Structure 1
Amino acid sequence: MGAGAARETDETRSAEGWREFAPYLKALARGPDSLADLDPELCREAMELVLAGVASPAQAASFLMVGRAKGNSASELAATSRAMRSFLRRVPAPPEPVLTVTGGFDGKLRTLNLGAASSLVAAAAGARIIIVGSEDVPPKEGYTNFGTLRKLGVRVPQTVEEAGESLARSGFAATSLAHYLPELHGLLQLRREMARRTALNVSEKLVSPVTGSAMMVGMTHRQPFLETMPRALVQLGVERALVFQAIEGSDEAPLDGTSALVVIEGEKIRETVVSPQRLGLGKVPRSELPPPAETDEHSARALLEGEPGPLRDLVLYNAALRIWMSGGDTPGSPPLEDMLIEPLERARTSLDGGEALALLHSLPG
């Protein structure tokens, strides 16, 4: 086939894609007096066409931005996540329970990353943790756990095969969209040009490459996501999850005594707040956290080596949440502080006994 014929075929295919996606855009982008949530099945089909590259960039951007302006319902977020699931490259999971930890894929700009250290402490205490995310994600394009781990000498992100082997071997893995969901990774430039968060920034947090994994999901804003994200996880059939107000929308739960955590067990959803004092930990206001980048490696390594201080309490708290969430027991109804006592002791033993630092040194560099 000559170059002219090839171009003609591509143009024809593009035109057909435009025609195929147009009805979905028309169903969503109605007049301001008739905007309504899109039927979940239509929403899933539309997002599959976006991920498959059938929708043109203009159509995809229009679809996502209208959804942002309208506000995405829990059903729409779940439908978008189902579409993403249909493209997943799965990480082979060990028989033991696995916890997927996700936060803002666009990273942090104001405070250092402590999520990686918390996950290492939890994994060294016997939990099986996989960190998922990405890098250079708009609009923030901030510092991520992958950057911190690289500074600590760990080769990340891992391929799905490497992540499966690492989970089975050490209980810790870290992989990115580029490996487990390249179709979504391929939309980064489009998202950069849109300059605003959309349903993609939320739904990507609700998708795990490990089948049947429990999930720990950090969110940026209390409203509306404290309501919509847990409901979306229930609709997705995630049996065990924790959604929480996070530091800069990351995977780090604040230790300030006021931030909400939402526990999901099957179809049951309950909101709670943890008192640092009841756990014997000091309150750590977000305003006291040091800045990121240059301090990440030093701070993370120092903490894994046993450095005392408020950051240690924040790491122990987040490690305890990970250990608790990765367990096979059900969340139950007692106060969360009571259920975190034993996981907190396991985290402290992992940190003080050097197991977390040993795990870091055992990971491929």
Structure 2
Amino acid sequence: MRIYLDNAATTALDPEVFEAMKPFMLEDFGNPSSTHAHGRKVRAAIESSRKKIAELLNCTPGEIIFTSGGTEADNALIVSGAQTYGIKHAISTPIEHHAVTHTLEILAKKGIVQLHHVQLDEKGHVDLAHLEELLKQHPKPLISLMHANNEIGNLLDLKRVGEMAKEYKAFFHSDTVQTMGHYAHNMKELHVCGLTAAAHKFHGPKGVGFMYIQKDHKIEQFIHGGAQERNMRGGTENVYGIIGIAKALEIAYREMHEHQQYITKLKSRMIEKLKANIPGVLFNGDSDNLNKSLYTVLNVSLPESDENDMLLFNLDLQGISASGGSACSSGATTGSHVLGALYPNSKRAAIRFSFSKFNTEEHIDTAVEKLASFINVAV
């Protein structure tokens, strides 16, 4: 039996989602831009999916634009947001997802914006007092801060930052890829200009996502060559992906409270068992704080050892899938830029375990048992 504990990287497709997608793979194959009956039926399904997502987020259908995933959505909101409003300053942190950090660094390198990093506390949380200082110094900037960090799980007070952004007339973008489908997002209460989602993070299909663009902060078209997606994104739509993301989000909202409780118990169980079985174990960021971190992510800091480089490999041999890096580079050999920024001199090993509704207590117990056996032998 293999145990999958890398759900922040991707999640298993929910069977109910697959059933919703199947007709649009095999039967309803029309191009949604065609005006005949085949095309009209598919167009109606896309718009029905858009409406469903808008209802769940408490926004209008016109504020939802489908994309290929979170990376494209982040790029579109940042690049087009800066261009549309002539933004000269951007405020972010060095521990954002690379879809954000690399995009901002390219804009800064081209001289389009000046990039300013807000200070972080010792746990990796955004210093809101310093954020306000930056907002006072740099009028009408672009703010890009993720709702939950994909590696350490730290949560941002999205509502508070949105209020600050509104006060200082900033264009506020938030990467919500790790929290969409796990927390409720009421867009009538959040002063966010744009946020992003990827279906495969909440048991939907890969290769599809969406961006929410607040109706009073529209941005210029990002992909040209067609009038699809409200003239915002050219190209034939990923129809069955769109059907899938809407169904996945519907299921996530329907079962959200139940899953939050269930997965939080799994995370708590792993924290307790790691502390009991591995001397010197710590946790990176605030990932062991259930009130300040994403309930699906636990980033474990392990004592220094010559065997640390082999930990993920050994876990994999034992049938346990986990990550040592970010959600989109689990197999990379380079170190984590998030942990490097927070713990530049640390030589401790780090493993990110991330959970879903398909995990069990047995999975947790087995993973801790195997990890403890490697650590205890090494020390």
**TM-score (norm: length of structure 2):** 0.26
Normalising by structure 1, we get a TM-score of 0.27
In proportion to residue count, which structure has more helix?
A: 1
